[in-house]
């Protein structure tokens, strides 16, 4: 695991965005593992700015997102499909049929998990992008999730629901369940990039980087990946 600490958040996004643009330009048929969350918004904005300026070609790229809430309508403004369309997919020339976000339809979520995992096994990711939950989760793999997990349904912890309530009208609106790529599925990507910024992530960063590698901190397993880079600002790195 390589740790990079930046004195400004902007520098993280500039570096990561230019890395993505280079990788996509070098390999237009790239397969990307993508993530949602506030941390990713500035990155996607820079990719869209780059597209508007340089027309970086996404027409052959494929994407696979980490997770989705269960029970929100597809067009709900807090669904992760909505987030991805809004922040990235509708602004670049990617084919929507090449973009995959797990489907959180309550009635067939188990089938949907099996189908998503099959797609993942047929489409190895070149780069997996990750954010970090304040409790050390990656995707929606909460503390205690097996490192051998594949795509599955999770019950969200109270902590995660509270953390994500800021995006909803109130806590009651936050779904109790989600479908997420498993930890084993994430680790199969050739490269992993994880970004964490702000003081609220400092404890999770410390557990990920310095704590024991165990399922109490799902992100700690990233230390065993052969090519994982962690991008931190000073606040997120403050307990290291
Ligand atoms: C959600 C997502 C995670 C994300 C985390 C952090 O729970 N499932 O994939 O990493 O939130 O989000 P934020 O970037 O908003 O702090």
Whose Cα sits closest to atom 3 in ligand 1? 139
What is the CATH class of 2-194?
alpha beta
pLDDT per residue over 175-230, tens digit each? 999 999 999 999 999 999 999 999 999 999 999 999 999 999 999 999 999 999 99
Q: In what order do the strands lie in the sheet with 191-196?
A: 2-6, 228-233, 191-196, 127-130, 31-34, 62-65, 99-100
Tell me, using a 6 A CB cutoff, whether residue 140 lines ligand 1.
yes
Indicate whether residue 149 lines ligand 1 (CB < 6 A): no
User: Residue 34 in 3-state DSSP?
Assistant: strand
- What pLDDT band is residue 174 in, cutting at 50, 70 and 90? very high
Q: What is the pLDDT of residue 19?
A: 98
Secondary structure (3-state) at 80: helix
Is 67 considered catalytic here?
Answer: yes
The whole-model pTM stands at 0.96
Is residue 44 lining ligand 1, measured as CB closer than 6 Å? no
* Pocket flag, ligand 1, residue 132 (CB < 6 Å): yes
Instruction: Give residue 87 CA to ligand 1 midpoint distance, Å.
Output: 15
Q: Tell me, yes or no, if 2 is annotated catalytic.
A: no
Cα angle 16-211-205, degrees, rounded to a multiple of 5: 30
Distance from C-alpha of 167 to C-alpha of 228, rounded to nearest angstrom: 29
pLDDT at 74 over 80: no
How high is the pLDDT of residue 23? Answer: 98
Pocket residue to mutate for ligand 1, from 33, 64, 130, 131, most atoms within 8 A of Cβ: 131
Tokens of 192: 């992993």
133-143 pLDDT per residue, tens: 999 999 999 99
Write down the pLDDT at residue 21: 98
Query: Do 231 and 193 form a contact (C-beta atoms < 8 A)?
Result: yes
Domain spans of the chain, in order of start:
2-194
pLDDT at 75: 83
Tell me if 55 sits within 8 A of 22, measured CB to CB: no
pLDDT above 80 for 98: yes
């Amino acid at each position: 695991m390589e740790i990079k600490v930046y004195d400004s958040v902007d520098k993280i996004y500039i570096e990561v965005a230019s890395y993505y643009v280079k990788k996509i330009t070098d390999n237009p048929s790239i397969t990307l593992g993508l993530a949602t969350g506030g941390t990713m918004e500035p990155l996607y904005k820079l990719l869209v700015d780059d597209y508007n300026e340089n027309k970086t070609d996404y027409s052959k790229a494929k994407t696979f997102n980490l997770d989705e809430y269960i029970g929100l309508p597809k067009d709900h403004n807090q669904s992760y499909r909505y987030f991805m369309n809004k922040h990235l997919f509708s602004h670049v020339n990617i084919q929507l049929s090449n973009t995959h976000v797990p489907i959180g339809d309550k009635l067939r979520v188990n089938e949907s998990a099996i189908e998503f995992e099959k797609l993942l096994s047929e489409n190895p990711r070149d780069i997996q992008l990750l954010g970090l939950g304040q409790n050390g989760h990656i995707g929606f793999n909460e503390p205690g999730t097996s490192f051998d997990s594949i795509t599955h349904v999770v019950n969200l912890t109270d902590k995660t629901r509270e953390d994500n309530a800021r995006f909803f009208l109130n806590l009651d609106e936050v779904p109790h369940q989600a479908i997420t790529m498993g930890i084993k599925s994430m680790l199969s990507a050739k490269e992993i990039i994880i970004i964490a910024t702000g003081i609220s992530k400092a404890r999770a960063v410390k557990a990920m980087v310095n704590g024991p590698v165990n399922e109490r901190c799902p992100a700690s397993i990233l230390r065993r990946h052969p090519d994982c880079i962690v991008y931190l600002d000073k606040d997120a790195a403050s307990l290291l």
